[in-house]
């Protein structure tokens, strides 16, 4: 075999190894992909089809128990910064603003405790008009409405 054919042979050998390896790595992806509808079919050891639901659409489900909602206008790790921000917000908005320490050590700056979402929305609008564009409504579990 001359040097040209030997070089071509080595190059084809390397390319075929790359294709084989890429094929081996793509097999799990190929076999784990789903069909076009909402269900995915797998075969068990006896050859019968097993259907699994793979729909990932999330629907908002109303909570059974509601907790009081507040409007959060800030959050700080440093207590001094939280206190300064709270004083400034009280002067600017002319409402009662309070600080709540979370178990993670975060100082949340909150306005009010509302059981009615409409009242919380009104305060949210007022806070945004007062310069707190990132304000949002939250309950004890997290954001309710942004």
Give me the residue spans of the domains in the chain: 3-53, 69-145
Q: Angle at CA 17, nearest 5°, toward 4 and 14?
A: 25
CATH 3.30.70.1070 correct for 69-145: yes
pLDDT at 40 over 60: no
- pLDDT value of position 119: 93
Calpha distance 127→77 (Å, rounded) = 21
Q: What is the pLDDT of the chain when averaged over all its residues?
A: 78
- pLDDT value of position 37: 47
Q: Report which of residues 24 and 81 the model is more confident about.
A: 81
Check: pTM over 0.75? Answer yes or no: no
Average pLDDT (25-36) is 56
Give the model confidence (pLDDT) of 66-95 as tens digits.
679 999 999 999 999 999 999 999 999 999
């Amino acid at each position: 075999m001359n040097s040209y054919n030997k070089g071509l042979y080595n190059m084809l050998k390397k390319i075929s190894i790359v294709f084989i390896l890429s094929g081996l790595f793509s097999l799990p992806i190929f076999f784990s992909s789903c069909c076009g509808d909402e269900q995915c079919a797998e075969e068990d050891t006896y050859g019968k089809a097993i259907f699994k639901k793979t729909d990932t659409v999330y629907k908002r489900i109303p909570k059974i128990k509601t907790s009081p909602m507040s409007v959060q206008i800030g959050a700080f790790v440093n207590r001094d910064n939280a206190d300064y921000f709270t004083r400034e917000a009280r002067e600017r908005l002319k409402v009662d603003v309070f600080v709540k320490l979370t178990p993670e050590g975060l100082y949340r700056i909150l306005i009010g405790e509302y059981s009615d979402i409409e009242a919380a929305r009104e305060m949210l609008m007022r806070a945004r008009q007062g310069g707190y564009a990132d304000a949002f409504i939250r309950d004890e579990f997290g954001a309710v409405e942004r």
